[in-house]
Structures are given as C-alpha cells and as structure tokens.
Structure 1
Amino acid sequence: MNPNIARHNVLFEKAFCRFFGHKFKTTRKITDHFKEFECKVCHRCATNDILGNKIHLSEEMKDINKALNQLYERRQIAL
C-alpha cells in the first residue's frame, strides 16, 4: 500500500473520531463492571476507570486488567 494513502486513511480516521466521537465495541469482559473496548473506526483501545469513564488502555492498565480478571475468575470458581 502506498504510504501516502495509508497516512491519509489514518488522518481521516482520527479526524472522524474527533468530530463524531469514537464508536466503541466491547472486545473483552474483565469483570461485571470493567471491560476493554476498541473503536471500530480508528482502532483505539480503551477501558473503564473506577468512575465508569473510558480511558486510554496503556500497558500498565492492560496488566491491571489481566490481574483483575484472574482474581475475578478464581473467585467465581470458589463460589
């Protein structure tokens, strides 16, 4: 693919999401209250914070979500 076309697509996707907002879909359920999301347009990943707002999914947040998911699954098995 031509790099100029690829760059144009990325810029268009970012501009679309800035103007209209992200179109998030759930990609992974961590617990009943926490989920991971991905934008259908620009493929930006997000997760919930304590207040329920969507925040950028950084490497640190991925690790936290992984640990939280493991604890949640162990607790579900124990019940």
Structure 2
Amino acid sequence: MMMKSTPNASFSFSKLYCSVFSHHYALSRDVTDHIKEFTCTNCGHQATTNSRGRLEAMTPKLKEINDALAFVHAKRVARGPVLPVQFQKAS
C-alpha cells in the first residue's frame, strides 16, 4: 500500500516574506472603540487586539466574540448617550 503525500499548506511567497520580515497589518474593521481587527496586506493573515491592546492571531472563537461585541456596541451607539441621573437634595 503506497501512501500519497499531500502538503498541509500551499507554498506562497507572500507567506515566506511575512515569516522573514513580519506582517504588514492594515485595519480591516472597527469592532468597538477599543477593539479592532487587522489583516496582513501581503498574506491575508488576520489578527485582533486583545484585552491588553496587543495583537493576537484571529481564531474562530475570537471572530465569534468580536461579532457579538460589534452587535452589542452598534445597538448601544444607536440608542444614544445615557444621561446622568440627577438627584434632588435631601431637606
């Protein structure tokens, strides 16, 4: 029985370039005011900012979290600013 070898990932010069010189990220989406999604202009690698503001590789779980955050943020922005409650002075 002869096994066929299939490559796991296709060879790409852009991936090789990014592995040598690092990624060149461009903003692809604002999730909220603090969380952003980025895409590499060379190879298409995606990243997002984490809770500390550092770039983290995009995973399906992070993509789902960002989609939920964007939905909640859009609803909150559409609702308008929250006015502060003014209390009456006690007599």
- How far apart are the structure 2 equivalents of 1:63 and 1:24? 21
State the match for 2:15 in structure 1.
14
Aligned length: 71
State the match for 2:31 in structure 1.
30
How many Å apart are 1:15 and its aligned residue?
2.0
What are structure 2's unaligned runs of at least 5 residues?
1-9, 81-91
CA RMSD across the alignment: 1.2
Q: Normalising to structure 2: TM-score of the pair? A: 0.72
State the match for 2:78 in structure 1.
77
How many Å apart are 1:21 and its aligned residue?
1.2
Q: Normalising to structure 1: TM-score of the pair? A: 0.81
Which has the higher relative contact order, 1 or 2, with Cα contacts under 8 A spaced 6 or more apart? 1
Structure in which a larger fraction of residues adopt helix: 1
Per-residue deviation, residues 44-66 of structure 1 (Å, max 9, x unmatched):
01111011111111111111000
Per-residue deviation, residues 4-63 of structure 1 (Å, max 9, x unmatched):
xxx44x1x2222112211110111110111111110111101111011111111111111
- How far apart are the structure 2 equivalents of 1:18 and 1:52? 23
Higher-Rg member (1/2): 2
What are structure 1's unaligned runs of at least 5 residues?
1-6
State the match for 2:58 in structure 1.
57
State the match for 1:41 in structure 2.
42
